[in-house]
Structure 1
Amino acid sequence: MDENTGGLTGLFDPERVAVVGATASEGSIGRAITANLQADFAGETVPVNPNYDEVLGAACYPDVASIPGEVQMAVVVVPPSIAVEAVRQCGEAGIRNVVVITAGFGETGSEGASRERELTEIAEEYDLNLVGPNSLGVLSTPTGLNATFGPENALEGSISFMSQSGAFITAVLDWANDEGLGFKDVVSLGNKAVLDESDFVEAWGDDPETDVILAYLEGIEDGGAFIESAREATAETPVVMVKSGRTDAGAQAVSSHTGTLAGSEEAYEAGLEQAGVLRVENVQELFDFAQILSGQPLPESEQVAIVTNAGGPGVMTTDAVGDSSLSLASFTDETLEALSESMPEEANIYNPIDAIGDADIERFEEALDIALADENVGCAVVLSAPTAVIDYGDLAEVIVELQAEHGKPVAATLMGGERTESAKEVLGTGGVPNYFDPARAVRSLEALATYREIQEREYEAPQQFDVDEERAREVLESAEARGENRLGVEAMDLLDAYGIPTPEGAIAETPEDAVSVSQDIEGEVVMKIVSPDILHKSDIGGVKVGVPNEDVYDAYEDLVTRARNYQPDATILGVQVQEMVDLDSGTETILGVNRDPQFGPLLLFGLGGIFVEILEDTTTRVAPVSEREATEMVDGIRAAPLLRGARGREPADRAAVTEAIQRLSQLVTDFPAILELDVNPLVAGPDGVQAVDVRLTVDTDKL
């Protein structure tokens, strides 16, 4: 196994690369890839094409089996009708790494999808590292490998970058070369028939030459695998991602509050956060963050010092800090005294430090040196507008020297056009990024602070509770036996089997049974119609609250009559007779799950009751969750102060809420057949929680 690329041995550092479909024809992809390889690749490029004896001066072979000696990688450029067989021949020849440039697979329809399945089967048979199909290719700067048909090679650097869009890669490389931004490895993922984002995150996370992992993705194939690989990688290497295509992948009709509130986009937000990925909104932020993460140390605190010669931009920077999770540093008395002695009277010595417009290099240097020496300062923004007394090249040298001396991260905002070019080169030698907009500098420093928090996380395994899994399975199978895929209050035993507290009660199939059940419950009872066809029971008058024992018989008959009048063909399983839960004694919350096509079960917690979809005060996490993650869900809603006892309320048992989340997490992890589930309300009181109502949707084929 290559120590630099994990299980992808030979994909980024091959000694010999075969180009299957190499050609000398002008304007062809086969020629472009062959020429790109020959231009910079330290190894040998081997053309393969039965129609040529020679391509661009190199001996050409009719097929890969004819190539003498070992070949570590093949790039397949032949038409889709023969590409599958070409990949098989690569496997038979012992070529383990294959990049399929050819399009015409899963992206084109059923015939192409069939070909793509064949590729996957061949890759599995021969244990191939296969990139693509429909890929721009791969490149790696340490060996000069450029197995792409793009017009630009990359500058050498420590950023590894993957993209689902080949066109995006070509645009990025063109821009990055102008900016002097370098890369280590670049991969066009294509259709991801075999290798996907999780494989490359894992490989680059183990690569000591990769300082930052960047990704442009339109989707993630296996959310659980990605979370696992990214968590491992981010312990040492930051992962920054742009995720486009904010649609509900695999959209399906939803029947629960959770299904309405927690869709695919929420799953990505939760999953990427749990994975430790820094998600950005646009391409600018992607590379802003990449530059600072690859060049600057992590801050020891979130407190920022601002040093400037321009009052207006200084205020803009202060506003940007206020909009972030960072804060303005409060200088120590020693710092203020030193600044007072070194700055003119008109200068502002408080943060932000305004050295005023006539500040020369020496004044800037003194101010920045004093600020970075302050123990309260974790990082700094150096901001300058052009003046006749400041040479940006000289200022850049000062910034680089002081940053290295103090070891604290610095972002520069040397505003201007052409005069900043030489300064950017100097700053680049010290890994200090320069941003025209001070808000970008602040957001980038915030990314450093966020990544520090990610590194400090301790991931704990989800707790495994002692549950009655067989009893839960019987409840779910009861739906299958009735030919139904939805369950309501008849599924309360499901929660009970997993240790989520429920009120005392049972389902009565006759008025006499209802009376019998109520006699075992102290006080008045709640009665609810039980029908998989009537999910919103309150809307039809299918719930009666505070029913005394002597009225239970009549209440039963009235509920059934109402249900029949509302929906004559509805399946009526009976009436749930349940002890009264004083809703005023606690806070009504909702606990639910919606199964996402990529990430699996997505847990939701928030303020519940009848206004849940109006207030939308919820948090989400991908199951299974640890105790820490469940606690974050509870503390993350806006209404969290209610649970902590705001305005004289008695505090809820938040530990019981956290445990209920973990128990539901275990339930939906154990039973993939559960597609949607709502516990609403889950009443959180001082003495624990109680699940008052439940409804769920089941995929009976998965039971």
Structure 2
Amino acid sequence: MSATTLSESESKALLVRYGLPSPDERVVASAAEAVEAAREIGFPVVAKLEGRTIAHKTERGLVRLGLVDESALATAAASLLAAATPADGDVNVLVAPMIAGNRELIAGMLRDPQFGPTVMLGLGGILAEAVADVVFRPAPLDEITALEMIDDLATQRLLGDFRGEAAVDRPAVAALLVGLGRLAVDRPDVASVDVNPLIVTPTGAPIAVDALVELRSTAVDDITPGPIRARPTEEQFRALFEPKGVVVTGASTHPGKFGFVSLHNLLAAGFEGAVHGTNLSEETVLGVRTVADVEQLPAGEIDLAFVCTPAATNPDIVRACAAKGIGAAFLTSAGYGEAGDQGRAAEADLVALADDVGILLAGPNGQGVVSTPAKLCAQIVAPYPPAGSIAVASQSGNFVSSFLNLARSTGVGISRAVSAGNAAAVGVADYLDFFAGDEATRVGLAYLEGITDGVGLMRRLGAAAARKPLVLLKGGSTAGGARAAASHTGALAADDTVFDGNCRAHGITRAATVEEAFEFAATFATQPLPKGPNVVVLTTAGGWGVVTADAITRDRDLRLLELPDDLRSAIDEHLPPRWSRNNPVDCAGGETRDTIPTVMRLIAEHPAVDAVVHLGLGIQSNQARMMREGGFHPDHGLERIVDYHERQDRRFATAAVEIGRETGKPILVATELAVADPANPGPATLRELGRLCHPSGERAVAALGALYRRSRYLERRAT
């Protein structure tokens, strides 16, 4: 589909109707008309050659700046008209006032092939592409979202008072962004808009000194969500996650086969419902007497079939399961959509069959399903996690295992977990939608790679995130990762900056690493949302506090609270004069038996404090460990002091949980001992209480920032 561009003046004439702040300009055809226009506008002026085929005037030397009198303007206008080539077509000279300002922005609209109409804002001027400080949001957008775009720019210092110039008029910039979003909806024939530069004047007002609108030759509808499959019913999801009975098809006596491992994991996790298996030889496997065919199973006793049989046999198995009243089937079988055209055809036929007989079809090519409320571990790999309130859905089975392993190591448990496999009939968004309404779940945690329907995906994810926190890890966020994701899933890896803007618009929390994703989810699952950005650091050693304070200061939204005078005075009563008397609250070795819980409570109960980060848990027990192992224990009074040290760290960990619960404020505890010595009584106590012990102050701050941004997102949109 071919496209044409409007001239600069035509572009601005269109965009002004949508809020573009444009200077008083004139379009002229001769040097004499240029001079007359300048008399009306006032000198100094700028002159540009413009036409529909002239897109990059600066590169061709078709702009004359700082023209201060009629003679200079007349000469410039004549030279510009003389520089036109036959390929330029009809041209004119645009005369405009010379706009001064040290700051330049860029704004625009594009139509993303995955996510449809999208509004853009960034640092502008000739360095726009090199600096690449740019943010996106899906169109249309409201003023709140537009203002958040401005807040998300990295160059915030340029947006405030700058070199004697006033702060940027944020509402004016936001109005332009909202207008561009409205244009995207009103005018489907507009392919893109580029407003660059948007000069910020010394008064802070934004003025567009150049603009370009590209038109599509034929107006077409923007991307609409693809045909949305009906989401499985609640009854079907309950069959998958809370079955009264399970059958493993293809059960095997060979401990290396999926049919053995899955049956073993199901039994080892303590599933309390009926367990059955099919095996052509009708062997007894792990005490389960199998039958040769699903048709021999009792009707009405089984809800879930865990299918470990070859792809060729699965259509008959699905039909037989439906006849027995089985509501869900999880297929581990490979050889479907990931295996070429023939596999894709077989997969499509299987989905159609499952729809026809009314079975939820999970997978194929999946790893399994976990549901701790049902003591269900129907998967072909370990582990089985502790019970908790994080629900996992992943395009990659490996990441299900990663998250479950982290749940085991931290003690922050899982409610549900599922590997979507090829997601032939049920995708990650379907599972997250179910989790959002699941009473056993407090937060969704997902891994995505390929995206085949960006608009539909974000609509579903956004609906889930509106009800419960959603933490998302996405593969393919770099060029190399995108290539790997495409080869893995066969789906298009979306431009990451556009995808990120969509996530922010829908209140979805993105994470950069597996560890960060789990820690964000674990913090959402176990801590209240802070009501504001003010953080106080409580530490037993100075260096940890300094580094954590740095992390808070670097966070674009959190604030290292200046310690209120009344709080400082209250702490004075419990610490010696050498304490820091500032934030971080460094106890400087002045702790007695009750100091940490007492000072922690004083801080958390203060109305100016929104969150606390506690550092130093486990120090005493670390020394106690060396005393136990040093060859002198239990003599020389060591038994008593070791017990005291360990008891103290247990008290401190318990106090953090209890005070956080009583005040309704997040109290995040961090120590490297969480990973360096998990058996240390400090982090071990947190683990026993189901709370995350963060491995460092910086990682605790990252999680706290995610909590606060979620809180602010909800507050701004509260009705």
Same fold (TM over 0.5): yes
Secondary structure class of the residue paired with 1:35: helix
Aligned to 2:681: 422
Per-residue deviation, 1:457:
4.9
Question: Which of 225, 230, 239 is matched with 1:10 structurally?
Answer: 239
| Residues 332 and 374, structure 1, Cα contact 8 Å, conserved in 2 | no
Report whether the alignment pairs 1:31 with 2:260.
yes
Measured at CA, do residues 371 and 401 of structure 1 come closer, stay the same or move farther in structure 2, by a change above 3 Å?
Answer: same
AA in 1 matched with 2:306: V
Q: Which residue of 1 aligns with 2:290?
A: 60
Distance 1:103-1:235 versus aligned 2 partners, 3 A rule: same
* Structure 1 residues 376-525: aligned runs within 5 Å: 376-384=608-616, 386=619, 391-416=648-673, 417-418=676-677, 421-428=680-687, 432-458=691-717
Q: CA deviation digits over 1:342-396, x for unaligned, max 9? A: 3221111211111102423422233222211221100000111725696422322
CA RMSD of aligned residues (A): 2.9
Residue 147 of structure 1 and its aligned partner are, at CA, apart by 1.1
Q: Secondary structure at the match of 1:350?
A: coil
Does the alignment pair 1:42 with 2:272?
A: yes
SS in 2 for 1:286: helix
Letter of the structure 1 residue corresponding to residue 654 of structure 2: E
The Cα of 1:46 is off from its aligned counterpart by 1.4
CA distance in 2 between counterparts of 1:267 and 1:119 reads 34
AA partner of residue 63 (structure 1): D
Does the CA contact (< 8 Å) of 1:321 and 1:327 recur in 2? yes
Conservation of the 8 A alpha-carbon contact between 2:410 and 2:693:
no
Task: Check whether the contact 2:615–2:671 (CA below 8 A) recurs between aligned residues.
Answer: yes
Q: Deviations over 1:33-66 (max 9, x none)?
A: 1222233111111112333154333332232223
* Cα shift at 1:27: 1.5
Instruction: Tell me the number of residue pairs that the alignment of Structure 1 and Structure 2 aligns.
Output: 451
SS of alignment partner, residue 235 of structure 1: helix
The answer (yes or no) to whether the contact 1:166–1:188 under 8 Å persists in 2 is yes
Residue of structure 2 in register with 1:359 after alignment: 591
Does 2:313 align with 1:82?
Answer: yes
Q: Percent identity?
A: 31
Q: For 2:678 and 2:498, how far apart are their aligned partners in 1?
A: 45
Q: What one-letter code is carried by the residue in structure 1 that aligns with 2:265?
A: N
CA distance, structure 2, for counterparts of residue 117 and residue 190 of structure 1: 14
Q: C-alpha displacement at 1:4, in angstroms?
A: 11
Rounded to whole Å, the distance in 2 between the matches of 1:38 and 1:4 is 27
Alignment of 1:341-356 (within 5 A): 341-356=573-588
SS state at 1:209 partner? coil
Inter-partner Cα distance in structure 2 for 1:94 and 1:248: 47
Query: Which of 103, 110, 134 is 2:365 aligned to?
Result: 134
Q: Distance in 2 between matches of 1:309 and 1:57?
A: 55
CA distance in 2, matches of 1:221, 1:131: 18
Gaps of 5+ in 2: 1-229, 484-492, 624-643
User: 1:436 and 1:16, CA in 2 relative to 1: closer, same or farther beyond 3 A?
Assistant: closer
Deviation at residue 244 of structure 1 after TM alignment: 0.5
What amino acid is the match of 1:326?
A: L
CA deviations 1:82-125 (Å, max 9, x no partner) are 22332233334442211010111111222211211111211222
Alignment of 1:120-269 (within 5 A): 120-246=351-477, 264-269=495-500
Distance 1:119 1:428, change over 3 A: same
| Partner Cα distance (1:91, 1:6) in 2 | 14
Contact 1:5 1:206 in 2 (8 A): no
2: CA distance, partners of 1:102 / 1:148: 12
1:285 to 503, 511, 516: 516
2-structure distance, mates of 1:347, 1:16: 61
Between the aligned partners of 1:110 and 1:373, the Cα distance in structure 2 is 63
Q: What's the offset of the Cα at 1:415?
A: 4.3
Offset, 1:140:
0.8
Distance in 2 separating the partners of 1:171 and 1:436? 17
Task: Report the more deviating stretch, 283-292 or 239-248.
Answer: 239-248
Question: Residues 164 and 218 of structure 1 are in contact (CA less than 8 Å); yes or no, is this contact kept in structure 2?
Answer: yes
SS in 2 for 1:98: strand
1:176 deviation in Å? Answer: 2.9
Unaligned runs of 5+ in 1: 253-261, 461-703
> In the aligned structure 2, how far is the partner of 1:337 from the partner of 1:29?
64
Cα offset, 1:221, TM superposition? 4.3
Contact 1:21 1:49 in 2 (8 A): yes
Deviation at 1:3, TM superposition (A): 13
SS at match of 2:239: coil
- State whether residues 196 and 221 of structure 1, in contact with CA within 8 Å, keep that contact through their aligned partners in structure 2: no
CA distance in 2, matches of 1:206, 1:381: 31
In 2, the alpha carbon distance for the partners of 1:358 and 1:302 equals 28
Q: Structure 1's 338 and 247: CA in aligned 2 closer, same or farther, altered over 3 A?
A: closer
Structure 2: which amino acid aligns with 1:444? A
> Quick check: 2:530–2:707 contact (8 Å CA) kept in 1?
yes
User: What amino acid does structure 2 have at the position aligned with 1:47?
Assistant: G
- The amino acid that maps onto 1:441 is A
Q: 1-side partners of 2:550 and 2:234: how far apart?
A: 42
Q: Secondary structure at the match of 2:426?
A: coil
- Give the secondary structure class of the aligned counterpart of 1:10: helix
Question: CA 1:453/1:129 → structure 2, altered by over 3 Å: closer, same or farther?
Answer: farther
For residues 581-622 of structure 1, the C-alpha deviation after alignment (integer angstroms, 9 at most, x for no partner) is xxxxxxxxxxxxxxxxxxxxxxxxxxxxxxxxxxxxxxxxxx
The secondary structure found in structure 1 opposite 2:415 is strand
- The amino acid across from 1:453 in the alignment is R
With the length of structure 2 as denominator, give the TM-score of the two structures.
Answer: 0.59
- Distance across 2 between alignment mates of 1:341 and 1:26: 65
- Kindly provide the amino acid, as one letter, of the partner of residue 13 in structure 1: E
* TM-score, structure 1 normalization: 0.60
Question: What corresponds to 2:76 in structure 1?
Answer: none
Distance across 2 between alignment mates of 1:27 and 1:138: 19
Question: Structure 2 CA distance, aligned partners of 1:374 and 1:290?
Answer: 27
In the alignment, the residues of structure 2 paired with residue 264 and residue 129 of structure 1 have an alpha-carbon distance, to the nearest angstrom, of 32
Give yes or no for the alignment of 1:339 onto 2:598: no
Match for residue 19 of structure 1 among 224, 248, 255: 248
What per-residue deviation string (whole Å, max 9, x for no partner) do you get for residues 10-33 of structure 1?
A: 110111112121122231111111
